[in-house]
């Protein structure tokens, strides 16, 4: 196998690696209701403030899903920027000039696995009574 790769590279052909991504399940706590754009902007601003433009470009942030009623969100980022993104999320204190906090519930490499992990976490939270509003499955 390595011989094949070295032969390909020796001929001047380029081997392109696929982009590895991580998906983060988030719970947003804010005084009033907030929308997905405000949450996305708050995370982007935090990454930009902590790591600058280079860090922001490496993060590759994208808000995949946001449930307005329950304030649960799914955020996608580059696997190499995961520690930066987690630090930036932890430093968010305001969303749209309102006090807020964002908590990372789970991290996964695929949306399918993330939905399974979050479902089991929701069940545990509901059993313990910590989850007041169970999110809608959709």
- Let me know if residue 95 belongs to a domain: yes
Q: Which residues of 65-85 are buried (b: 16+ CB within 10 A; e: fewer)?
A: ebeeeebbbbbbbbeebbebb
More confident residue, 85 or 118: 85
> Residue 28 pLDDT > 60, yes or no?
yes
Helix (H, G, I), strand (E, B) or coil at 29: strand
- Let me know if residue 118 belongs to a domain: no
In the chain, helix, strand, coil percent, each to 5? 45, 25, 30
Mean pLDDT of 39-50: 94
- Let me know if residue 125 belongs to a domain: no
Mean pLDDT of 60-83: 92
- Let me know if residue 89 belongs to a domain: yes
Mean pLDDT of 86-108: 93
CATH number for the domain harbouring residue 32: 3.30.70.3250
pLDDT at 11: 61
State the chain's mean pLDDT as an integer: 84
Mean pLDDT of 106-128: 85
Q: Which of 115, 5, 71, 51 is nearest to 61 (CA)?
A: 51
Mean pLDDT of 105-123: 87
How far is 132 from 79, CA to CA, in rounded Å?
32
- Let me know if residue 117 belongs to a domain: no
Based on the structure, what is the number of domains in the chain?
1
DSSP line for 42-104: HHHHHHHHHHHHHHHHHH--EEEEEETTTTEEEEEEESTTHHHHHHHHHT--EETTEEEEEEE
More confident residue, 58 or 8: 58
Mean pLDDT of 9-29: 80
**32: domain range?**
19-112
Backbone angles phi, psi at 21, to 5 degrees: -125, 160
- Let me know if residue 119 belongs to a domain: no
């Amino acid at each position: 196998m390595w011989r094949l790769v070295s032969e390909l590279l020796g001929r001047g052909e380029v081997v392109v690696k696929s982009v590895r991504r991580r998906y983060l399940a988030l719970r947003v706590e804010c005084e009033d209701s907030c929308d997905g754009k405000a949450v996305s902007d708050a995370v982007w601003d935090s990454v930009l403030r902590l790591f600058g433009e280079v860090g922001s470009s490496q993060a590759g942030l994208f808000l995949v899903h946001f449930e307005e009623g329950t304030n649960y969100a799914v955020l996608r980022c580059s696997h190499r920027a995961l520690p930066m993104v987690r630090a930036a999320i932890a430093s968010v204190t305001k969303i749209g000039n309102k006090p807020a906090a964002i908590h990372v519930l789970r991290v996964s490499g695929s949306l399918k696995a993330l939905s399974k992990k979050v479902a089991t976490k929701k069940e545990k939270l509901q059993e313990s009574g910590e989850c007041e509003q169970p999110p809608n499955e959709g």
